[in-house]
Amino acid sequence: MAKLAQIGNSKGVRIPKPLIEQAKLENVEIEFEIVKDGLLLKPVKTTLRQGWEQSILDAYADSSSDKGEGLLSEFLDDSDLDVDVWEWEL
């Protein structure tokens, strides 16, 4: 059994590590929901790869104003591939 403890102007509860691991609450943002019999803690659901494209552009943006789009276009440009020497199987 746990009791609420004073933490500054708030109250808190210590949750044993095995419960945190079992509930998959470690190192995640937690959402609180008031339910009929108390309070429910659950991890915030995030969409995988949310914002990944902008993150990549930001990470590889050079000092110019192209925000990395030049790098992305260069990566996606296959015009220099010598496709004539490739063997195609149908």
Model pLDDT for residues 46-71, shown as the tens digit of each residue: 766 777 777 777 776 654 455 555 66
The helix (run of H) or strand (run of E) holding residue 86 is none
CA distance 42 to 24: 9
Cα of 51 vs its chain's centroid, Å: 8
Cα of 57 vs its chain's centroid, Å: 16
Pairing state between β 38-43 and 30-35: antiparallel
Smallest CA-to-CA distance from 19 within 30, 8, 11 is with 30
Lowest-confidence pick of 5-9, 35-39, 79-83? 79-83
User: Is residue 35's pLDDT more than 90?
Assistant: yes
User: Is residue 76's pLDDT more than 70?
Assistant: no
User: Is residue 10's pLDDT more than 90?
Assistant: yes
Please answer whether residues 13 and 2 qualify as being in contact, where contact means their C-beta atoms are separated by less than 8 angstroms.
Answer: yes
